[in-house]
Structure 1
Amino acid sequence: MFQDRPDRDEIVLVGRSNVGKSTLMRELTGHSKFTTGKKPGVTRKPNHFDWNAEKFMFTDLPGFGFMSGVDRDTREAIKTDVVQYIEEHADDILAAVLVVDGKSVIDIIDRHTTEDSIPHDVEMFFFLDELDIPTVVAVNKMDKVDDRDERLNDLCDRLGLFPPWKQWRNVIAPITAKRGDISHLEDALRSHLHEQGRDDLFKFL
């Protein structure tokens, strides 16, 4: 289990390995200390970026799912740690950002959907909902997607949200973190913070 968590309210970033969570973390915080890499699984423990005076932080949680060169037991242990972290600190999590790869997310979900199993992305979305954690699905790498609206509508369908996606702007946020295009996500997070009376945190978005 992850240790040494600062005592802060937080916004957490979750998602599969190699979907751009750490790149997004750099964009949200304006700091470049977060490790990124083409090799999946670079982040193995939470990366916290906190503001002591505000008792607030962003947390980049380790990626889950398949990771090249990482054995199944290790992958499952990481996922379990992520789930336990979220469960344990749910009361302090103001919002969750579930990051997915806009280019591949539909194929991945469909490939892993069977009668007996739910894909990690969908499972995590439902898990966060069960804990009443406001969740934004940040659909990253949208610069590589041609059929933008169709892809986002398909994602809504897979998540149990009635398309079109544009009626879910507080839930579905198309972004391209690498290019700094994260305005849809920032708008959605501000909306969730406002509902919790935390307009004081707008300055971080």
Structure 2
Amino acid sequence: MFDNRPDRDAEIVFVGRSNVGKSTLMRELTGHKFETGGKPGVTRKPNHFDWASEDFMLTDLPGFGFMSGVGDEHREQIKTDIVHYIEDNAEKILLGVLVVDGKSVIDIIDRHSGEDEIPHDVEMFYFLQDVGIPVVVAVNKMDKVDDKDDRLNDLCDRLGLHPPWKQWQDTIAPITAKRGSIDSLNESVKEHLHDQKRDDLLKFFS
């Protein structure tokens, strides 16, 4: 179980499969270097970033889904721990940012859509909403995608949002974290913080 959560009353959590670029995005948002590895699954416990003097932090939760060299049981345990962490702290979580790889997300979702299977990404999107946490989907690595609008429309379709994606700009944020291109995510986050009367935190997302 994940313990050692800093005593902060407000947080934004970042969730996503292994290797979608969450740690790179965290580095971009905070200016702090996180341990990133070429191997998926380097982050096994939450990285809490409570650098702000305000009662607020960003939390990078471990990647879920396939990880090379990690057994099924351990993988399931990580996912269970993520779910429990979010449930236990839901009242303090202002926003969930689901990070996906724009290049591969549609293939991954479609590959895992069996009769009894809900793909992890789709499941996490609905799970966050079910526990009352607004969600922004940060669609990373968009510099590698040619047909951007088509890809984002397809993603909306898989998430049960009616395309075109542009009407969901508070929910779908195309980014390229490695190049520092994260303005759309910052704008979406700020919109949600404003809705929750947390304008005091907008300065962290400028």
Question: Kindly, what percent of the aligned residue pairs are identical?
Answer: 75
Determine the C-alpha separation between the residues in 2 that align with 1:4 and 1:70: 24
Partner residue in 1 for 2:140: 140
Supply the AA of the counterpart residue of 2:23: S
- Cα shift readout 1:76-127 (whole Å, capped 9, x = no counterpart): 0000000000000000001010000000000000000011110000000010
Supply the AA of the counterpart residue of 2:117: S
- Cα shift readout 1:170-201 (whole Å, capped 9, x = no counterpart): 00000000000000000000000000100100
| TM value normalised by structure 2 | 0.98
Partner residue in 2 for 1:121: 121
1:52-201 → structure 2 map (5 Å cutoff): 53-201=53-201
Supply the AA of the counterpart residue of 2:12: I
Partner residue in 1 for 2:17: 16
Determine the C-alpha separation between the residues in 1 that align with 2:3 and 2:93: 17
Determine the C-alpha separation between the residues in 2 that align with 1:158 and 1:63: 20
Q: 1:52: Cα distance to partner?
A: 5.5
Identify unmatched segments of 5+ residues in structure 2. Answer: none
Supply the AA of the counterpart residue of 2:21: G
Aligned-residue Cα RMSD (Å) equals 0.7
Which structure 1 residue ranges, 4+ long, deviate > 6 Å from structure 2? none
**Secondary structure at the residue paired with 2:161?**
coil
Determine the C-alpha separation between the residues in 1 that align with 2:27 and 2:41: 17
| TM value normalised by structure 1 | 0.98
Supply the AA of the counterpart residue of 1:51: W
Determine the C-alpha separation between the residues in 1 that align with 2:121 and 2:49: 24
**Secondary structure at the residue paired with 2:146?**
coil
Determine the C-alpha separation between the residues in 2 that align with 1:197 and 1:24: 25
Identify unmatched segments of 5+ residues in structure 1. Answer: none
Count of equivalent residues: 204
Q: 1:51: Cα distance to partner?
A: 3.5
**Secondary structure at the residue paired with 1:89?**
helix
Determine the C-alpha separation between the residues in 2 that align with 1:53 and 1:157: 40
Partner residue in 2 for 1:47: 47
Q: 1:37: Cα distance to partner?
A: 1.4
Supply the AA of the counterpart residue of 1:79: K
